[in-house]
Amino acid sequence: MKLGHWLLAGMLASTTVFAQDVAAQNIELRYSALYGKLKQNVKEGHDDVRIALFLLEQNTGEVCRIHHGSMRKDKHYEELVIPANNELLVPIDNNLRQANPDVTFVIDDGITCDMSMQVIANQTYGQQISRADIAALTPQMDQLLADLGGMFSSWFMPEVGGVVLHFDQEIADGLSTSQGKTIVVNQRKAVIKLAELSEGEVVSLPVPANKVTPWIPKS
């Protein structure tokens, strides 16, 4: 689930040249702004899910490709690992929060990317995801969303009713379940509703999901 687009304070873009004269731009952030959201990940009660940050292209909603990431404070410099899903990963550390280094992500030039905060499962799941897996994820997703929204959020937000599987490619035939059902994949996303799965039912995945996010019923 995407909790809307939000721009972090101090987010700046500047054009640079990266990797064999390919035009790119730097997205400049402060560590404290990232820490303020990602610190939820160290709390107990949702070990299987986390907050994830992405840059989404403004025109298409697609995740922006991150070519390179780094942190710098005075003479101290550290390269950041960029995962295959282009998540913005930084270490969660109180000493870093106090030092508040500059964080730079390098993306393609000529596009505008907004920061997006999402709740996602720690696993992407390989060949299958079961009803039991989803039943374990949904209360943890509820807990994390409640932590983000504050004490009154549960009054207004329905409970998570399932998950959305995100894929890197279209799957024309959809997903098959062990009970003979077919789940449609639309725009590389498949909604799996917990209430529509039987005990012990398993959903087969032709390719691993890129990420797994909450599905919240419309009130």
* Average pLDDT for 98-115: 94
Integer Cα distance of 99 and 93 in angstroms: 10
Integer Cα distance of 100 and 105 in angstroms: 16
- Tally of CA atoms within 13 A in the half-sphere of 192 that contains its CB: 30
Q: In a 3-state reduction of DSSP, which class is residue 40?
A: helix
pLDDT in the model for residue 3: 38
Supply the pTM of this predicted model: 0.82
Q: In a 3-state reduction of DSSP, which class is residue 134?
A: helix
φ, ψ for residue 2, nearest 5 deg: -100, 125
Task: Determine the straight-line distance between the first and last CA of the chain, rounded to whole angstroms.
Answer: 15
For the ranges 8-12, 59-63, 75-79, which has the lowest average pLDDT? 8-12
Q: Residue 151: is its pLDDT beyond 50?
A: no
pLDDT in the model for residue 148: 80
pLDDT in the model for residue 218: 84
pLDDT in the model for residue 43: 86
Report yes or no: 120 and 198 within 8 Å, Cβ to Cβ: no
Q: Residue 165: is its pLDDT beyond 70?
A: yes
pLDDT in the model for residue 5: 35
pLDDT in the model for residue 10: 40
Q: Which of 146, 168, 165, 169 is nearest to 157 (CA)?
A: 146
- How does the average pLDDT of the chain come out, rounded? 87
How confident is residue 15, by pLDDT bands cut at 50, 70 and 90? very low
Q: How many residues does the chain have?
A: 219
How confident is residue 153, by pLDDT bands cut at 50, 70 and 90? low
Q: Which amino acid would we find at residue 64? A: C
Mind listing the pLDDT tens digit for each residue in 191-208?
999 999 999 999 999 999
pLDDT in the model for residue 44: 86
pLDDT in the model for residue 77: 95
Q: Residue 169: is its pLDDT beyond 80?
A: yes
